[in-house]
């Protein structure tokens, strides 16, 4: 049996209807897991699940709302408890301290920090009563690097990293592992939309500039992030907890 075989595992992926979350959900399903996709867009969550696997399911979930998260987990775990949780739901923001409004800050906090907390809380409540489990949070290089114009986003991803370490420490005795991934820029529909909206007529030039920020000369593909997620959520990484894995095309050490 392959060490990354997830047969018999139930994986919950927040923000799994698109982008990195969708790639992770697809990769986990291909590795044998039963996947539950939780997304603000319930219809898209269901259609994505149907396209991924016959056993995959989609559920509407607002990760900022405790009642919505609790309901989604209750529905998703009627037949199986949570073995794996991936927190991929998140939002971005461009701005410095002075250009970031209080509303901006609160919006980023509600999704990226509160949302991660609420999903982990629902998962850990089940995991500590059972055989344990694995949690993977989506952080960012912004958590530990001083990126320009990313004040609020960096704040929230730093919090995700800190929460990862705390959960790993507090629940190691319950056989719950908790790690995070810190990607550099990933080529998702969000990036394409951001470039089109903010740089009309200069999309190709800006895309090249964003790609060159990584020494490797390109952005990551969602599937590459998904393969690292598969390792960290499988038995292959059974000795790994409390770790932050950069996947950055050389951003930190080769610039």
Residue 50 zone, left/alpha/beta (φ > 0; ψ -120 to 50; rest): alpha
Q: Using an 8 Å Cβ cutoff, are 16 and 22 in contact? A: yes
Question: Which residue's entry shows tokens 């907890």?
Answer: 241
Catalytic residues: 153
Exposure string over 117-147, b if 16+ CB within 10 A, otherwise e: bbbbebbbebbbeeebbbbbbbbbbbbbbeb
Taking CA atoms, 244 is separated from 11, 231, 240, in Å, by 20, 13, 10
Total residues belonging to the chain: 255
Determine contact, residues 226/24, Cβ cutoff 8 Å.
yes
Report the C-alpha gap between 143 and 177 in whole angstroms: 20
Pairwise CA distance, residues 226 & 6, whole Å? 14
């Amino acid at each position: 049996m392959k060490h990354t075989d997830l047969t018999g595992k139930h994986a919950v992926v927040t923000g799994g209807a698109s982008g990195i979350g969708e790639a992770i959900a697809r990769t986990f399903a291909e590795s044998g897991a039963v996947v539950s996709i939780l997304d603000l867009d319930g219809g898209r969550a269901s259609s994505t699940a149907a396209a991924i696997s016959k056993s995959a399911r989609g559920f509407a979930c607002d990760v900022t709302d405790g009642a919505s998260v609790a309901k989604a987990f209750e529905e998703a775990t009627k037949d199986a408890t949570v073995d794996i949780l991936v927190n991929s739901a998140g939002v971005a923001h461009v701005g410095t301290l002075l250009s970031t409004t209080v509303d901006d800050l609160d919006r980023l906090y509600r999704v990226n920090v509160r949302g991660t907390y609420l999903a982990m809380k629902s998962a850990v409540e089940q995991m500590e009563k059972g055989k344990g489990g694995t949690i993977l949070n989506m952080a960012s290089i912004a958590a530990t690097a001083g990126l320009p114009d990313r004040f609020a986003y960096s704040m929230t991803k730093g919090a995700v990293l800190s929460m990862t370490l705390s959960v790993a420490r507090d629940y190691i005795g319950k056989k719950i592992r908790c790690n995070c991934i810190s990607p550099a820029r990933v080529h998702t529909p969000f990036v394409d939309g951001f470039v089109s909206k903010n740089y009309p007529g200069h999309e190709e030039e800006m895309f090249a500039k964003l790609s060159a920020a990584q020494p490797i000369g390109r952005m990551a593909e969602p599937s590459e992030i998904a393969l690292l997620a598969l390792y960290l959520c499988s038995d292959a990484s059974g000795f790994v907890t409390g770790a932050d894995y950069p996947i950055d095309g050389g951003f930190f050490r080769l610039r």
